[in-house]
Amino acid sequence: MTTLSININKVATLRNARGGNLPNLLEVAKDLERFGAQGITIHPRPDQRHIRYEDAKNLPQVVTTEFNIEGNPSSKFIDLVLDIKPTQVTLVPDADEDITSNAGWDTLEHQDFLKKIINQLKGHGIRTSIFVDPKITMVEGAHAIGADRIELYTGAYASGYYQDRDVAIKPYVMAAEKAMNLGIGVNAGHDLNLDNLAFFAQNIPALLEVSIGHALICESLYLGFENIIPMYLQRLSI
- Could you list the pLDDT tens digit for every one of the 238 residues in the chain? 899 999 999 999 999 999 999 999 999 999 999 999 999 999 999 889 899 999 999 999 999 999 999 999 999 999 999 999 999 999 999 765 655 556 799 999 999 999 999 999 999 999 999 999 999 999 999 999 999 999 999 999 999 999 999 999 999 999 999 999 999 999 999 999 999 999 999 999 999 999 999 999 999 999 999 999 999 999 999 8
Cβ–Cβ < 8 Å for 132, 171? no
Cβ–Cβ < 8 Å for 38, 3? yes
The whole-angstrom separation of Cα 51 and Cα 15 is 10
**Active-site residue, from 33, 50, 190, 219:** 190
CB atoms under 10 Å from CB of 1, counted, come to 10
Cβ–Cβ < 8 Å for 51, 12? yes
The whole-angstrom separation of Cα 21 and Cα 232 is 27
Q: What is the pLDDT of residue 238?
A: 84
SS (H, E, C) 87-132: CEEEECCCCCCCCCCCCCCCCCCCHHHHHHHHHHHHCCCCEEEEEE
**Active-site residue, from 33, 50, 70, 209:** 70
Is the omega angle on the peptide bond into residue 86 within 30 degrees of 0, that is, cis?
A: no
Active-site annotation holds for 124: no
Q: What is the pLDDT of residue 103?
A: 79
Q: What is the pLDDT of residue 94?
A: 76
The whole-angstrom separation of Cα 107 and Cα 159 is 24
Q: What is the pLDDT of residue 161?
A: 98
Q: What is the pLDDT of residue 97?
A: 63
The whole-angstrom separation of Cα 163 and Cα 226 is 31
Cβ–Cβ < 8 Å for 174, 136? yes
Helices of type H across the chain: 9-18, 25-34, 53-58, 75-84, 111-122, 136-144, 155-182, 197-203, 214-223, 225-237
Stated as kind and residue range, the H or E segment containing 220 is helix 214-223
Q: What is the pLDDT of residue 96?
A: 57
Active-site annotation holds for 190: yes
**Active-site residue, from 43, 143, 151, 219:** 43
Active-site annotation holds for 43: yes
207-212 and 3-7 strand pairing: parallel
Max CA pair span of the chain: 49
Q: Which domains does the chain have, with CATH numbers?
A: 3-237 (3.20.20.70)
